[in-house]
Structure 1
Amino acid sequence: MSILTTLFNTLHNTAPFSKIKNEDYLPAFIEGIALAKAEIDAIVQNEVIPTFENTIEALDYSGYILDRISSIFFNLNSAETNDEIQKIAQEVSPLLSDFSNDITLNAALFAKVKAVYDQKASLNLNPEQTTLLDKKYKSFSRNGANLSEDKKAKLREIDKELSKTSLKFGENALAETQAFQMHLTNKDDLAGLPEGTIEAARSLAQSQEKEGWIFTLDYPSYIPFVTYADSRELRKKMAIASGAKGFQNNEFDNQQNVLKIAKLRFDRAQLLGYATHAHFVLEERMAQSPEKVLSFSNDLLAKAKPAALKEFAELTAFAKELDGIEQLEKWDGAYYSEKLKQKLFDLDDEKLKPYFQLEKVLEGAFITAEKLFGLHFEATKAIDKYHEEVATYEVKDDNNNLVAVFYADFFPRKGKRNGAWMTSYKSQYIKDGSNERPHISIVCNFTKPTETKPSLLTFNEVTTLFHEFGHALHGILANTTYPSLSGTSVFWDFVELPSQIMENWCYEPEALSLFAHHYQTGEMIPMDLVEKIKESASFQEGMATMRQLSFGLLDMGWHGQDPSNITDIKAFETEQFAATQLYPEVAKNAMSTAFSHIFQGGYSSGYYSYKWAEVLDADAFEYFKEKGIFNKEVANKFKGNILSKGGTEPPMELYKRFRGQEPKPDALLRRAGLI
């Protein structure tokens, strides 16, 4: 038995990170797959007539050990990877893909599932059981159980190739991010940059025993650089380097991987009887069809585009007046937007950052969760972690019962991918009368503390923290019977509601007063700054909406049609972006080759869901605003109907139970200043 396949002898059965060695993983996966197969065989060989309990329930509880190994391993492959882990991932992925297909293509098992499914009407199941039965049946039918043997074999090949190619895509994107450094030795090149950004670049150079300053494509370095650096040439250099990830015809080039993934997904969908990958995916989403997604996106685009064009014209005129810029380029956007925002609202991130010390903002998120949902976050040293920078907490309710274990990992480092995400190491579920509580983690890339300053966040990073914390609450407050329906296991265009709604508290004086205090003096953020934050919330919202829609439309372009004839990624993107383009095209750049959300994460045919969920979150938050942003009654409704329910019922039903009606887009358009 491996350390990974036994019960962890730790507090709350948490992962024993410090005791796990890389060489433990492969044997553990092999053992975990064998254990899971034995559980499946037991279901198949059971001679009792198939029932909901002995087939559907048994199937959902099976593979627990394998799931835990997978979540530990693949979470570390994102947050703390190295060459060895990446090599193991390449070995393990085909094994897992095969195992997954061994289940969905197991004819005897499917026969039992179908036998239960066929008598659904007479089984007297509750809503959660009904959903589980539907999901289990569809997990077979949508993954090839009804195919002939030769087509099943073809499906296996496709799935193996897909899992390996997606991993390779992600490895290349990470390698490209880490391969670029801009090493500056002339102090004049730093003009315009915030002191904290300069200090961080200096300490990075020192850590490499170099003079001067080093800037990278990691967000805490890249974003301030393109936003504040006065040198247009250097901004251009950074922006082009960022946009060229995976598009440089080198060993980390992702062009062929993109074409291959799109084509494999299309072939898979066709094999299963769907017109395209998007048709396959959207059958299990609130949006239901590519047509609906496109009409939703184009409808929003029609409302946002006039505003976006007007905003872009204003920005162009401003840059010309300020610096004589004749043609705004992509590397000018963030820089002049920030200058214009400062002019219009007398507001800039450097003025705000002293009020947003990371520890205080995190504490603010905790207090918000306490006031709304009765949760208490208690820091503990008794839980093992995979890196010294990770913070660990026990989450308890008002009666001191354990609700969850929470991990927070905030700073960039080698081996950690860019961006921010929430994940889990153990799902919540109820079995044999015991409510197993979840282990939830959020991972971000914020500016590290320096010798003279703590980690101070931009306002954008504050909303990012609240966003990921909202996902975490969805996991923490999960209260379902079955693991596959727990927490964030919901339709993808519903999963962003709990995260996006939490961002709204960052704009409310009542919430800001909990955590926005100056890191040196302790004084609360002045109300005039809060007003300016609120006023500036819809600044360039037309352009922001158009940008977000352009990503969703690119995603639908790749997945909503037969991609076989696409050979030139750049030409294809140019065509997809035609309706949303504001800046001139940059020949050396492509988006798809580093678009990890859709080619490595789970967002293929789902990128639109950020906007879709914004409609939900704006509508839901209006309800809080009507009753008070810390109103217990509304909070309990949100917790009881949305956060705790996971994927146990159709999301629109859950939403209507919370809100009393279907969401209307008007709240979003009002908030965005588009009506």
Structure 2
Amino acid sequence: MKTTLMLLASLATLSTALAADPVYPKIKFTYSAQDIKVECAAALAKASRQVERLARLGDDQRTFTNTVVAFEKIQNAVDEQLGPILFLSSVSPSSAVLDASNDCGDKVSSFYVALSGRTDLYKAIDVVAHQDLRLDVEDAKLLEETVRGFKRSGASLPEDVRAQVTKLKDQLGLAQNAFSKNLAKANDTAELTKDELAGMNDDYISTLKATDKGTYLLTLLDASQFLPFMENGTNAEARKKVQTAHDKVAAPQNVALLEQAIALRDQIAKLSGFPTWAAYQLDAKMAKSPERVNEFLADLATRLAPKVDADLAGLLELKKKDEPSATKVYLWDWRYYDNQLKKSRAVDNEAIRAYFPVDKVITAVFDIYQRLLTVKFTEIVPAYAWAPEVRLFEVRDARAGNEGALIGHFYLDLYPRENKYKHFAAFDIIHARRNKDGSYHTPVSSVVGNFPKAAPGKPSLLLHSDVETFFHEFGHIMHQTLTDARYSSLAGTNVRGDYVEAPSQMLENWVWDRDEIKKISSHYKDGSQLPDTLIDSMLAAKHLDEGITWSRQLFFASFDMLAHSSGAAVDTTKLWNELSPRIYRMDSTEGNAAQASFGHLMGGYDAGYYGYLWSKVYAQDMFTVFQAAGLESPVAGDKYREWILRKGGVYEPDVLIRNFLGREPNKEAFYKSLGIGDTKPQPLGLLN
């Protein structure tokens, strides 16, 4: 695909205007709790009737279309009818709606567990798989993944074993949903006096809830409150108090649920013919085996160790200026002294924050994505969303020959609310797929986040790390949106779990480029760009304490792999607190049970958290294409859209990456990005 110079010129001036003639997504969020109960029951009853009709077909009648595609369509119908309802469990301001959504989620989970374990459906699919078919790439991939899904769900096992697996998976789904529900409702706070808030400015304090006693409540899982305090609070005892409380949120109930889930997973794996849950999960990932993942993590740990030790030694020297007798840096210290170190290198996060007012950042980030991917975003007002502050946008193609075609919609829900999901994520609400008539069923997704609320007289101001997070999550939105896969189960981010982060991780590099930083920055008072002096200090300090930062990711990945490779009876609190000082090099807080709020392990990243590191290898290697061509090169952007975003899970990730790079991937750029270097590029050979 070629882009004309005229089109490039017009794209250079794109911004997010309001839609003159908006096309709303065919979706609603105005459900009562009773509505959800009725809608959920109706959708599952209809799907059950369709499943029974599919099961009754005779073997001599079965075709790819009336069996494999029909099975896909049954799931599509459930997802499209209930997707918005299930999404409300993460965002609804109503506790009643949230509870009803979670109850529906339990029912949907049980429905899919039972569906994927049905031997009659597996045999029906297998009949088609053994026919003399002439399938194209997408049809063949759908058949392959459908068969794989049934086998992984136990449908090919003896009846008594299959029944056990189905029962265990149902229990697992309920445990995972309960864990997530507890986190959504966890509004635990730390009560702080004015003295304990020493070092925090009035703008920050204004975001905390004041009590009648003259104290303030810091919401522990609200990153916009927790992180600034840990980075700037000068009262070490108060930091310890907040960190200790933070590390106990949702314990003990979520610790029990996590350990129950680990035990259930181990039983499922063994009944399915795998030695551990890690082996079971990795059989369907790029890495293929726990041995390869453990080798990768061990190699990274060896390379990072000297940097971690050096980073901690540097922070200890800073701490000794405050406490001459100090001998250790604790968990409640490192963010504070890391911030002090960066300030000593002229990286003043509070000064930098003034250049990143949220609305200006969103507009600038959108402009970059529009130019890079040859698309146009237009806001639709009113949004008719689940909360009044939520914004809605349509995405249209801007490529020559397809200009103006509707591609999808996305929502932005960026500020904290009670009961809302506590972190940042991109959610699929409606998946993309090709309709029978050849038209495209466009996707709907949402960025859900928790940017700091505006202080009186100021807009919401973002840290540079917040900008990086938004750039990353919006990359997922583009992956979900710019797909044209025929089937929903292969569209967008429906790719191997240890690859899914790579496309967005690559895009994080844009916020570390001088020219792109200037485009994104705009002082909230006068609109001036971030000055070169501050950019210089940011870039020079990029690798400061990255040993600690990446060892944290390494710790999470290692904990996950060990927890899912150690049998059914895992004391997760003991494992967490023994592993932390070995990898993280910092002792745990008293009573630390932070795994209770480690939502990834109950949200699809179990035996998969390593994927954040694994996919980073590919992300940094892919970025070398843009480094060579230019960060907003339309040629590189078009190639990225074509090979990395458009094809979804139709092809294996290594095929997509190899075609995008024009060579075999290697680890050189990854090691450089971590500031540990590597003199010899190492071929990955991950799928050999």
Shorter chain as normaliser: what TM range?
over 0.9
Residue pair 2:189, 2:217 contacting (<8 A) in 1 also: no
Q: Deviation digits for residues 23-47 of structure 1, max 9, x if unmatched? A: 1112211111121122223322334
- Residue 191 of structure 2 is matched in structure 1 by 182
> Where do residues 216-227 of structure 1 align in structure 2 (5 Å cutoff)?
216-217=219-220, 218-227=222-231
- Residue 338 of structure 1 is matched in structure 2 by 339
Residue pair 2:102, 2:181 contacting (<8 A) in 1 also: no
CA distance in 2, matches of 1:196, 1:582: 34
- Residue 432 of structure 2 is matched in structure 1 by 428
The answer to whether the aligner puts 1:109 opposite 2:121 as a matched pair is: yes
CA distance in 1, matches of 2:171, 2:383: 38
- Residue 43 of structure 2 is matched in structure 1 by 32
Alpha-carbon shift at residue 81 of structure 1 (Å): 5.7
- Residue 158 of structure 1 is matched in structure 2 by 168
Residue pair 2:491, 2:649 contacting (<8 A) in 1 also: yes
CA distance in 2, matches of 1:190, 1:585: 23
* More divergent stretch after superposition (78-87 vs 145-154): 78-87
> Where do residues 474-489 of structure 1 align in structure 2 (5 Å cutoff)?
474-489=479-494
* More divergent stretch after superposition (473-482 vs 154-163): 154-163
Task: Give 1:659's aligned amino acid.
Answer: L
Alpha-carbon shift at residue 282 of structure 1 (Å): 0.6
Q: 1:326–1:408: structure 2 CA closer, same or farther, 3 Å change rule?
A: same
SS at match of 1:190: coil
* More divergent stretch after superposition (167-176 vs 237-246): 167-176
- Residue 466 of structure 2 is matched in structure 1 by 461
Q: Deviation digits for residues 260-313 of structure 1, max 9, x if unmatched? A: 110001111111111111111111111111111110111111111111111111
Residue pair 1:475, 1:486 contacting (<8 A) in 2 also: yes
4+ residue segments displaced more than 4 Å? 208-212
- Residue 577 of structure 2 is matched in structure 1 by 574
Q: Which runs of 5+ in 1 are unaligned?
A: 1-9
> Where do residues 80-119 of structure 1 align in structure 2 (5 Å cutoff)?
80=92, 82-89=94-101, 91-119=103-131
Q: Deviation digits for residues 145-198 of structure 1, max 9, x if unmatched? A: 11222222222221221122112222333444x0324243x3x43321134212
**What's the TM-score once normalised by structure 2's chain length?**
0.91
Equivalent residues, number: 648
SS at match of 1:17: coil
* More divergent stretch after superposition (98-107 vs 465-474): 98-107
> Where do residues 1-150 of structure 1 align in structure 2 (5 Å cutoff)?
11-18=23-30, 20-47=31-58, 49-80=61-92, 82-89=94-101, 91-119=103-131, 122-150=132-160
Task: Give 2:546's aligned amino acid.
Answer: E
SS at match of 1:287: coil
Alpha-carbon shift at residue 383 of structure 1 (Å): 3.6
Q: 1:266–1:391: structure 2 CA closer, same or farther, 3 Å change rule?
A: same
Residue pair 2:485, 2:647 contacting (<8 A) in 1 also: yes
- Residue 354 of structure 2 is matched in structure 1 by 354
* More divergent stretch after superposition (465-474 vs 654-663): 654-663
SS at match of 2:395: strand
The answer to whether the aligner puts 1:547 opposite 2:558 as a matched pair is: no
The answer to whether the aligner puts 1:196 opposite 2:194 as a matched pair is: no
Q: Deviation digits for residues 206-241 of structure 1, max 9, x if unmatched? A: xx7774533221111111111101111111111001
SS at match of 2:557: helix
Q: Deviation digits for residues 613-636 of structure 1, max 9, x if unmatched? A: 111111111110111111111111
- Residue 229 of structure 1 is matched in structure 2 by 233
CA distance in 2, matches of 1:463, 1:486: 25
Q: 1:355–1:36: structure 2 CA closer, same or farther, 3 Å change rule?
A: same
CA distance in 2, matches of 1:518, 1:443: 25
CA distance in 1, matches of 2:140, 2:266: 30
CA distance in 2, matches of 1:310, 1:531: 23
Task: Give 1:490's aligned amino acid.
Answer: V
Alpha-carbon shift at residue 372 of structure 1 (Å): 0.8
* More divergent stretch after superposition (570-579 vs 485-494): 570-579
CA distance in 2, matches of 1:16, 1:390: 14
Residue pair 1:14, 1:439 contacting (<8 A) in 2 also: no
Q: 1:387–1:604: structure 2 CA closer, same or farther, 3 Å change rule?
A: same
SS at match of 2:327: coil
> Where do residues 522-541 of structure 1 align in structure 2 (5 Å cutoff)?
522-541=527-546
Task: Give 1:627's aligned amino acid.
Answer: A
CA distance in 1, matches of 2:375, 2:102: 40
* Partner of residue 412 from structure 1, selected from 398, 413, 416: 416
Task: Give 1:14's aligned amino acid.
Answer: K
Q: 1:453–1:240: structure 2 CA closer, same or farther, 3 Å change rule?
A: same
Q: Deviation digits for residues 6-65 of structure 1, max 9, x if unmatched? A: xxxx954432223x2111112211111121122223322334532222211121122333
> Where do residues 198-347 of structure 1 align in structure 2 (5 Å cutoff)?
198-201=205-208, 204-205=209-210, 211-217=214-220, 218-247=222-251, 249=252, 253-324=253-324, 325-343=326-344, 345-347=345-347
Task: Give 2:34's aligned amino acid.
Answer: E
Residue pair 1:182, 1:216 contacting (<8 A) in 2 also: no
Residue pair 2:482, 2:646 contacting (<8 A) in 1 also: yes
- Residue 613 of structure 1 is matched in structure 2 by 615
Residue pair 2:62, 2:128 contacting (<8 A) in 1 also: yes
Alpha-carbon shift at residue 369 of structure 1 (Å): 1.1
SS at match of 2:53: helix
Q: 1:569–1:142: structure 2 CA closer, same or farther, 3 Å change rule?
A: closer
CA distance in 1, matches of 2:258, 2:178: 10
Q: Deviation digits for residues 496-541 of structure 1, max 9, x if unmatched? A: 0121111111111222222201110111111222222222221111
Q: Deviation digits for residues 326-371 of structure 1, max 9, x if unmatched? A: 332111111111001111x211210100111111111122111111
The answer to whether the aligner puts 1:557 opposite 2:562 as a matched pair is: yes
Residue pair 2:491, 2:647 contacting (<8 A) in 1 also: yes
Alpha-carbon shift at residue 583 of structure 1 (Å): 1.3
Aligned-residue identity in percent: 28
* More divergent stretch after superposition (555-564 vs 616-625): 555-564
Alpha-carbon shift at residue 98 of structure 1 (Å): 3.3
SS at match of 1:588: coil
Residue pair 2:559, 2:575 contacting (<8 A) in 1 also: no
Alpha-carbon shift at residue 113 of structure 1 (Å): 0.7
The answer to whether the aligner puts 1:499 opposite 2:529 as a matched pair is: no
Q: 1:580–1:374: structure 2 CA closer, same or farther, 3 Å change rule?
A: same
Task: Give 2:47's aligned amino acid.
Answer: A
CA distance in 1, matches of 2:61, 2:661: 42
* Partner of residue 662 from structure 1, selected from 649, 661, 664: 664
Residue pair 1:551, 1:607 contacting (<8 A) in 2 also: yes
Task: Give 1:152's aligned amino acid.
Answer: R
Q: 1:237–1:179: structure 2 CA closer, same or farther, 3 Å change rule?
A: same
> Where do residues 614-653 of structure 1 align in structure 2 (5 Å cutoff)?
614-653=616-655
Alpha-carbon shift at residue 68 of structure 1 (Å): 2.4
SS at match of 1:414: coil
Alpha-carbon shift at residue 93 of structure 1 (Å): 4.2
SS at match of 1:254: helix
Alpha-carbon shift at residue 84 of structure 1 (Å): 2.7
